[in-house]
Amino acid sequence: MYPINNIIERHFGREPSQIVKLTGGDINEVYQVFLKEKSVVIKINNSQSIPQLFEKEKQGLELLSRSTFIVPKPIKTGSIDDAQFLIMDYIEQGSELDWAVFGKKLAQLHLIEGKFFGLDHDNYIGSLEQINKECGAWSEFYTNHRLLTLTAKARDQGLFEKKHCNWIEKLCQRLDELIPACRPSLIHGDLWSGNLLIDTSGHPVLIDPAVYYGHPEMDWAMLSLFGSYPVEALDHYQNLHPLEKGLNERKDIHQLYPLMVHLILFGKGYLNGVESTLKKYA
């Protein structure tokens, strides 16, 4: 049992009146903690294999807060009794997302630009370390710090054969031809439906960032990997931040990265999806 009472009492000077377990991810336990004046969320784990996970998440939330999205405000990170934790504001959830508002807000996020692709620090996507060494071109960054990095991990874990490595190399050689050039945009980095919540007014809320300055199509590719979005979301986005035609035809290239993340974390059930894309471009 994690020492949640001790953490809350040490930070707020009082014990919580109630603690409710929330639906979390694969690596953390998540709780809503009721205090006299408000509720907070605490995420906690004791994994030594993902050091500074919550410090990196706090940095990501602070970067996302530069946008117009609603983002939980991080309150405190730390460790106690071999457990690391993050305390942040609790946001009451609604039921129906305003997709037009989402499209506008995602465009406004992507209009926040960096000088380079990458970030001034590494972070995590799930429990997997994410290398963000800065590069001047998207093709260079996506090749070296996304696809080839994970190719080496997949090979070392016995998930990739030589043919997969060759297919990846061939695709990387074609990235400048296949992917439109762009400025480095601040992106969420892990924008699947589970990280897109809704407040009581129907406004979108972003959680669990894997942020860096990347290609804006990465967020759209991730959002459509395990689900879909209505056309009005993209229409309102395009009014503020137009993308090159052919987004849907090339989205599988940017879906390769999260698919390979899932392959490495969860096993060969994701290999068919990776192979399908690689064969298309090999």
Q: What is the pLDDT of residues 196-237, one digit of tens each?
A: 999 999 999 999 999 999 999 999 999 999 999 999 999 999
190 catalytically annotated: yes
CA-closest candidate to residue 186, choices 93, 23, 273, 66? 66
Domains of the chain: 4-89 (3.30.200.20), 99-281 (3.90.1200.10)
**pTM score of the predicted model:** 0.96
Owner of token pair 């990501």 = 60
Radius of gyration of the chain (CA): 19
The sign one gets for the Cα dihedral 18, 52, 270, 264 is negative
Q: Supply 113's token pair.
A: 């630009």
Catalytic residue among 190, 208, 219, 252: 190
What's the rounded Cα separation, in Å, for the pair 50 and 30? 17
Q: Residue 32 to residues 17, 22, 114, 158: CA-CA distances in angstroms? A: 11, 7, 35, 40
Nearest-10 Cα torsion for 263, 265, 269, 270:
-30
CB-based contacts of 244-247 (< 8 A; 24+ apart in sequence):
244/180, 247/217, 247/220
| pLDDT, position 1 | 63
Q: Which amino acid is at 51?
A: P
Strands 18-22 and 29-34: antiparallel
What's the rounded Cα separation, in Å, for the pair 120 and 253? 25
| pLDDT, position 26 | 75
| pLDDT, position 48 | 76
pLDDT by residue, tens only, the chain of 282 residues: 688 999 999 889 888 999 999 986 678 999 999 998 899 999 999 867 799 999 999 999 999 999 999 999 999 999 988 889 999 999 999 989 999 999 999 999 999 999 999 999 999 999 999 999 999 999 999 999 999 999 999 999 999 999 999 999 999 999 999 999 999 999 999 999 999 999 999 999 999 999 999 999 999 999 999 999 999 999 999 999 999 999 999 999 999 999 999 999 999 999 999 999 999 998
Contact between 206 and 69 under an 8 Å Cβ cutoff? The reply is yes
| pLDDT, position 24 | 67
